[in-house]
Structure 1
Amino acid sequence: MSATSTPAAELGFTACLNPATLSGIPLPRFLTLAAETGFDAVELSIQQVIAHGPQQVRDMLDRHGLRAVAASGILPAGPVLPAPLLIPDEQYADLLQDLPQRLAAFQTLNCPTATIVLNPATTWPRPDALARARTRISQLADAAAPCGVRLAVEAVSVTRGLPPELTGEHLLLTDLPSLARLIEETGRTDVGVLVDSFHWAAAGADRGHITGLGTIPVAHVQIADLPIGITPADAADEMRLFPGDGALPWRTFGQALNKAGYTGPVSVELFNPALRALPVGEIAQRAHHSAVSRWNLPEVTR
């Protein structure tokens, strides 16, 4: 760590590990590695939690001294992956049927945040898609609130290499201010945004995109770095690097989070196939080191 760096822990942030960073390993192994490398917070896939048994997973977390601070899959897509918010109407209606089971799993884990991605583009015309998004955000928030769970909605700003479910001929929204306005239009006071540093960089790394969210809180943060020499327009999720290994302006990012009043988890989320090919222990160690000490955020809290 350089002489002018400030560890993330000193900024009030909690180092967290996203399971995508260690893709393909069993949940018990993921929790063991997270604990062994110094994490005290993790994100989970709620489908995996249900498959293992929520109480059994809660017991594993307790044994390892870990907290489940967020989980994906409030709308699931298979045994691990989450579905985005704007899935086809019939699929969405089907998934609402067993939503209580998933929310009960959140409750058993004492997990406070359900993350979900908002499609940046859809096959529906924009007014129709926005109306669906507002309705579904309100429906999911209504269901989650009695379980002590808050929805954290993520805007996708990268435009290259997106999976089919996030594409369409009609552009919806791709930045945090537009997402905040959408949430404001729902009238909800218990829904926040998920700030992903990589998407923030792909949208231009504008400090005001975080500090200008108005009454909408930052509910969760995921972190990864943008390679040096890559323009925002060329960014793709498979390029994600460990925080501190690229060109992302971490001081600006940290100051903006501080200004927005965020002091929660910062979760390392990588989809880079080259990094995923490293030994899992090395991945977890590098993820923890980058989350804690490689921010280069001098005097960020002033």
Structure 2
Amino acid sequence: MNSFKLALNTSTLLSFRLPVLEQIRITGEAGYEGIELWVSDIQSYLSSGGTSEQLKDALHEAGVEFVNAIAFFKWADEDENVREEGFRQAEEEMRMLASLGCRAVAAPPFGQVKHVSIGTMGDHFNRLVQLGRSLGIETYLEFWGMAEQLSTLETALAVAAASGIDDSRILVDPFHMYKGGSDWSTLEQLQGNQIGIVHINDYPAIPARADVADKDRLFPGDGEAPLKRLREQLERAEYVGYLSLELFKEDYEGLSALEVAIHGRKKMNDVFKGNE
């Protein structure tokens, strides 16, 4: 039996426009062990009078761990001024996340990165990881299949190597592997401790890869993604971290937010744990 733990990325509930406390409650009620919250949702809650202590209490009452945050700071932008502002934003948001007991934050290639070399991006990632660790937050390198740089797992491995940080971690996502044209055999190069978290989703045969978008993501097992192979590769790598459901569906055909969360957990169990 594998040791995967299940989390919910609250993008999956985006279409319901729920406040962050409701997102946390539903995640716990649906039986997930972890949650990925969006920094923007946390900031909306805090700016409207909520407190960090209330958020921490909600996480505790729901019985879920705040395993990763979804943020958008331009840490690798081509423009130095934009990049420096990105690092100021990163420090501010990392401090906030640390105060909530968050474990990590994702670092995708947000911003203008087309002409940033692998080596330069590695230097920027080194700086970002060091900043996060000084504040008690890990940083997971995330590749985006539609990005003009850092679009594949292969590139992510190259950036991680260029960073010089031996224990850096990568965020793995089947949708982005497909969209960017990553080679699934590259996963065999990863050991479990090199993976920060795994986003779980599926994708359809139509539209084609060039046209498929975030909104087209499917529940695991409902599409074409080689998720059985992913499971086997994660087991071989001895990965024991979180699998986090990340969808962006605009319509769940009448299901409530809780029903969506429960259904998603069942689908992940069916594919990755073979139980419940």
TM range (shorter): 0.7 to 0.9
Q: Does 1:64 align with 2:62?
A: yes
Match for residue 226 of structure 1 among 191, 195, 203: 203
1:210 is matched with which residue? 187
The within-5 A match list for 1:109-124 is 109-118=100-109, 122=112, 124=114
Between 1:32-41 and 1:94-103, the stretch displaced more is 94-103
Between 1:94-103 and 1:30-39, the stretch displaced more is 94-103
The alpha-carbon deviation at position 205 of structure 1 amounts to 6.7
The alpha-carbon deviation at position 112 of structure 1 amounts to 1.8
Match for residue 81 of structure 2 among 59, 78, 90: 90
Secondary structure (helix, strand or coil) at the match of 2:133 reads helix
Secondary structure (helix, strand or coil) at the match of 2:252 reads helix
Q: For the structure 1 residues 26 and 62, does the alpha-carbon distance in structure 2 shift closer, same or farther, using more than 3 Å as the test? A: same
Instruction: List alignment gaps of at least 5 residues for structure 1.
Output: 1-9, 74-81, 160-165
Q: Distance in 2 between matches of 1:275 and 1:92?
A: 38
Secondary structure (helix, strand or coil) at the match of 1:275 reads coil
Counterpart residue type for residue 62 of structure 1:
H
Counterpart residue type for residue 172 of structure 1:
Q
The within-5 A match list for 1:246-257 is 246-257=223-234
CA contact (8 A) 1:37 1:284 kept: yes
1:133 is matched with which residue? 121
TM-score, scaled to structure 1: 0.78
Secondary structure (helix, strand or coil) at the match of 1:118 reads coil
Q: For the structure 1 residues 233 and 269, does the alpha-carbon distance in structure 2 shift closer, same or farther, using more than 3 Å as the test? A: same
Q: Distance in 1 between matches of 2:260 and 2:74?
A: 27
Q: Does 1:103 align with 2:94?
A: yes
Secondary structure (helix, strand or coil) at the match of 2:18 reads coil
Aligned length: 267
1:184 is matched with which residue? 161
Deviations 1:121-176 (A, max 9, x none): 9465343xx3542232111111111333221111112x4xxxxxx5xxxx424211
Calculate percent identity across the aligned residue pairs: 22
Instruction: List alignment gaps of at least 5 residues for structure 2.
Output: none
Q: Distance in 1 between matches of 2:62 and 2:193?
A: 33
The alpha-carbon deviation at position 292 of structure 1 amounts to 2.0
2:177 is matched with which residue? 200
TM-score, scaled to structure 2: 0.85
Deviations 1:166-210 (A, max 9, x none): 5xxxx4242112211111111012421100111123345743221
Counterpart residue type for residue 145 of structure 1:
R
The within-5 A match list for 1:236-255 is 236-255=213-232
Cα RMSD after superposing both structures:
2.7
Secondary structure (helix, strand or coil) at the match of 1:273 reads coil
Q: Distance in 1 between matches of 2:149 and 2:20?
A: 34
Q: For the structure 1 residues 46 and 296, does the alpha-carbon distance in structure 2 shift closer, same or farther, using more than 3 Å as the test? A: closer
Q: For the structure 1 residues 92 and 55, does the alpha-carbon distance in structure 2 shift closer, same or farther, using more than 3 Å as the test? A: farther
Counterpart residue type for residue 57 of structure 1:
L
CA contact (8 A) 2:160 2:168 kept: yes
Secondary structure (helix, strand or coil) at the match of 1:172 reads coil
Q: Distance in 2 between matches of 1:293 and 1:264?
A: 18
Q: Distance in 1 between matches of 2:239 and 2:96?
A: 26
2:28 is matched with which residue? 35
